[in-house]
Amino acid sequence: MKARTRFAPSPTGELHIGGVRTAIFSWLLAKHTGGEFYLRIEDTDQERYVPGSTRRILESFDWLGITLDGGPDHEELRAMKTNEDYPGALEDGEYKGVPGPFVQSHRLHLYKQWAEWLVEHGYAYRANETPEELQRMREEAQARKQTFIFREEMRLRPDVRPDEPHVIRMRVLPRDGRTEFDDLIKGRVSFDNAQVDDQVLLKMDGFPTYHLAVVVDDHLQGVTHVLRGDDWLPSAPKHVLLYRYFGWPEPQWAHVPNVLGTDGKKLSKRHGAQSVFEFRDQGYIPEALINFLALLGWAPGGGDEQNVFTREELIAKFSMAGVGSSPAVFDYNKLDWLNGVHIRRLSPDDLAERLVPFLARAGVSVDTPEKRALLRRIVPHIQERTKKLTDAAPLVDFFFGDIQTPPAEMLIGPKMEQPLALHALRETRRVVASVEPFEDAPLEQAMRALCEALGLKPTQLFTIVRNAVTGKSVTPPLFATMAILGRETCLTRLDRAIARLQASA
RNA sequence: GCCCCCAUCGUCUAGCGGUCCAGGACGCGGCCCUUUCAAGGCCGAAACACGGGUUCGAGUCCCGUUGGGGGCACCA
């Protein structure tokens, strides 16, 4: 059976990592079954609306490489400065079989229509208590140590006319029954109707609340599986009731457990990196992030112990049965490891391209064809040394610019005295000047021979040569590094090191 | 306070009544490889929250306790 799923964020800021995980599950389910995954913007709260966030959300999915089968049109949105308004083209029509519009503020007439339908059929009623009045009622209930549940007989003005300002509230029926439903993750869930509020469905401003909008849209847009964070579970009975009132077939419910921070609390703004872009800027690659997030709460099961997955493998193996029911703690260690694994799987040229912006940010500009070529030669040697894209800069900067000649103590190896070190560097200079061809293997051969001749351990000699030639103690493999630097650069740097060492005598 | 959800190594998890003195992965420790740092290989420490049932037999089923999480808006 083909699943049609959706991700329905509010445009209130950056795409949050917890939301991304829910989106990934939804996307995997849809793709696994050959169905559709689309985006719907839930902008029914005008107060919390943050201009530009729809575009940022779209860009997040672009970066993740998750393609949408419906939703606001990418090209048009990208062309706009902000998304405070949507082009008329978004108003109608459908996209890959999913009927639009995909922005709730453009669907107001639908919510109004169905809210009125509920009133007509006795499943909802009009009310017009002010926020202040409601607040007072709530406080009174609290004073009696009771949970405040709004019911129609509590209305202060029971005779609200359709032509005066009012809200529409759902009637929870039957009053004394229970509402039960099956959840793909939680199993059978049951709520006492007496605990369910007569929720406002249509606000005074004509906008729907989430509860009405989500039900109307999911039904009209043919959503088969409702995946969302399990913080929605307590309001699910309202949605179940609405489906039943409307006589619409219920979708499959799946309330996915939340992602927790290391402190065991729901992952939120306070836990460091939150938005997809923050992870991107910290040097994580989408392949790793998707792999990691998928594993956070999902496992292939059936004795399959695979941990590293490509997108395609995830799509092939994903199933709701593998999604766990308990909350998962976000583990940065595992993310880092997976990032390294996926970076190693990249082709060197691909990695080189991805590195460019990170190098630029670190002051290493790779802005000419020559520099690109240089970077491509270097990358194979740093690939297994980079866990995050931000790791590369200190490993490669000395290829692209001059170095500080290291202080004398860095030029005297372990268990060595200054005269020996000086001699060793001079001999190294001779080797470097004469080796033919100036390549990795011949260099290594000659330098090892030099070790023999000097009676030095490789570590001793290579350490000071590394320092002299790169200015650092941690670098890619020495001889490959020297070969790429080139004979002239190596000689220059060796000469400066020799001079520095001499001066220190 | 009320309601709901959850409970296997520090973390992510496998386990769907016996084949589990509980398996894999991250992290951690040790060893090996080694020109630095990585990567890689091998080895190791590390868990069924507790208490009752059910059953010939329970990590697996039921109940309770404890602990954790979430929700109680004209926010999503």
Structure confidence at residue A81 (pLDDT) = 41
Separation CA A79–CA A54 (nearest Å):
13
From the list A434, A409, A408, the residue with the least C-alpha distance to A498 is A408
Identify, with chain letter, the residue nearest to nucleotide B24 (CA–C1').
A305
pLDDT bracket for residue A225 (50, 70, 90): very high
Residue bearing the bigger pLDDT, A289 or A16 = A289
Percent of chain A at pLDDT > 90 equals 78
Identify, with chain letter, the residue nearest to nucleotide B74 (CA–C1').
A203
Q: Does A454 score more than 80 pLDDT?
A: yes
All domains in chain A, ordered by first residue: 108-256 (3.40.50.620), 347-401 (1.10.8), 408-503 (1.10.10.350)
Name the closest nucleotide to A458, judged by C1' and CA: B35
Helix, strand, coil distribution of chain A in percent, nearest 5: 50, 10, 35
pLDDT bracket for residue A99 (50, 70, 90): confident
A269 flagged as catalytic: yes
Structure confidence at residue A268 (pLDDT) = 66
Q: How many C-beta atoms surround the C-beta of residue A354 within 10 A?
A: 16
pTM of the predicted model, to two decimals?
0.93
Q: What is the DSSP string of A310-326?
A: -HHHHHHH--GGGB-SS
Give, in Å, how far the C1' of B68 lies from the CA of A64: 32
Give, in Å, how far the C1' of B42 lies from the CA of A454: 35
Identify, with chain letter, the residue nearest to nucleotide B12 (CA–C1').
A296
Among the ranges A20-34, A38-52, A98-112, A135-149, which has the highest mean pLDDT value? A20-34
Give, in Å, how far the C1' of B2 lies from the CA of A148: 9
Q: What is the pLDDT of residues A194-209, one digit of tens each?
A: 999 999 999 999 999 9
From the list A168, A170, A130, A126, the residue with the least C-alpha distance to A149 is A170
Separation CA A116–CA A216 (nearest Å):
13
Name the closest nucleotide to A42, judged by C1' and CA: B76
Name the closest nucleotide to A321, judged by C1' and CA: B16
The one catalytic residue in A96, A269, A415, A457 is: A269
DSSP state letter for A107:
-
Instruction: Identify whether the C-beta of residue A202 lies closer than 8 Å to the C-beta of residue A208.
Output: yes
Rounded to two decimals, the ipTM of the complex is: 0.95
Q: Does A73 score more than 90 pLDDT?
A: no
Q: How many C-beta atoms surround the C-beta of residue A258 within 10 A?
A: 18
Name the closest nucleotide to A266, judged by C1' and CA: B69
Which of A103-112, A208-217, A365-374, A425-434 has the least mean pLDDT? A103-112
Q: Does A89 score more than 70 pLDDT?
A: no
Structure confidence at residue A47 (pLDDT) = 87
Structure confidence at residue A98 (pLDDT) = 85
Cα dihedral sign, A146-A149-A151-A154: positive
**What does each C-alpha distance from A228 to A25, A188, A212, A379 come to in angstroms?**
9, 17, 16, 41
Q: Which nucleotides in chain B lie less than 7 Å from some protein C-beta?
A: 1-8, 10-15, 23-27, 34-40, 68-76
Q: What is the pLDDT of residues A297-324, one digit of tens each?
A: 999 988 899 999 999 999 999 999 999 9
Structure confidence at residue A88 (pLDDT) = 38
Give, in Å, how far the C1' of B33 lies from the CA of A469: 26
Give, in Å, how far the C1' of B39 lies from the CA of A378: 16
Residue bearing the bigger pLDDT, A93 or A122 = A122
Structure confidence at residue A72 (pLDDT) = 63
Q: What is the pLDDT of residues A150-173, one digit of tens each?
A: 999 999 998 899 999 999 999 999
Name the closest nucleotide to A295, judged by C1' and CA: B12
Instruction: Please give the average per-residue pLDDT across A35-43, as a whole number.
Output: 92
Query: Taking all residues of chain A, what is their mean pLDDT, rounded to a whole number?
Result: 92
Q: Does A187 score more than 80 pLDDT?
A: yes
Give, in Å, how far the C1' of B71 lies from the CA of A259: 16
